[in-house]
Structure 1
C-alpha cells in the first residue's frame, strides 16, 4: 500500500499555509493538521504537529522550563515548501502493506487522531 499526504492545513490560521507568511518568520509556531491516507483511495486520517522555529522554542523554554518534543517539526525559518517536502519524505518512509501499521509509524512523529483509541 502506498500512503500519501492528502492535505495540510493550519489549526490556528484562517489563511491557507501556502499563502501565509508570519510577521517574524524566524520566531514562529503553528499547529498543523496533516491528512494522510492510502494513495488512489478516498479517505484519510488526521495527524497533528507543531511547526516551530528554534527562536520560538527558546522563548517557550524561558517560561516553561521543560517541553516535550513529540509532534514537533523544527525549522530554522518559516518555509511552506520545506515543511511540505519534509512531511512528504517522512510519510513515504512510513509506508507499510497494512494501513494500521503505517499509521502507528506516522504517530511516532505526530499526534494521530486514533492514537489512544480503544474499541
Structure 2
C-alpha cells in the first residue's frame, strides 16, 4: 500500500505553514497536523507532530518544573524551513507503507500522534 502526506497545517498558528515566518527561524516550536492517506484516495487521517529547534527545546525544558520533559511525536530541525519539514515528513511516510491502512497508520504513529491512536473499536 502506497501512502502520502496530503495536507500540512498548524494547530497553533493562524497563518498557513507556507506563509508562516517565526520571529527567529532557529528558535521556534509548533505543532503541525498532517493529513496522511493512501495514494489515489482523497481520504486522510490526521497525524500531529511537534516541530521544533534544539534552541526552543532547551528553553522549553528549562521552563519545566524539574528541568526535564518527555519527548514523543517530535521532529527536531536546525531552523524553520517549511519545504525541509515537508520533505522530512514525506520521506518518513513513504517508508511506512504496509499491507493495510491500520498497519501503515500504526507505523506512522511511532513518529506522529495519530488521531485514532489508542482508539477502542
Scaled by the length of structure 2, the TM-score of the pair is 0.95
Deviation at 1:9, TM superposition (A): 0.3
Residue 108, structure 1, aligned to residue 110, structure 2: yes
* CA displacement 1:1-55 (0-9 Å, x = unmatched): 1100010000011111011111111110111000000000121000001000000
Scaled by the length of structure 1, the TM-score of the pair is 0.97
Pick which of 63-72 and 76-85 moved more: 63-72
Residue 18, structure 1, aligned to residue 18, structure 2: yes
Q: Distance in 2 between matches of 1:63 and 1:16?
A: 28
**2:101 is matched with which residue?**
99
- Runs of 4+ that moved beyond 4 A: none
**2:75 is matched with which residue?**
73
Aligned residues: 119
Q: Distance in 1 between matches of 2:49 and 2:99?
A: 24
* CA displacement 1:70-112 (0-9 Å, x = unmatched): 1111001101011001000000010112110000000000110
**1:60 is matched with which residue?**
60
**1:30 is matched with which residue?**
30
Segments of structure 2 that go 5 or more residues without pairing to the other structure are none
Quote the RMSD (CA, aligned, Å). Answer: 0.7
Q: Distance in 1 between matches of 2:15 and 2:60?
A: 24
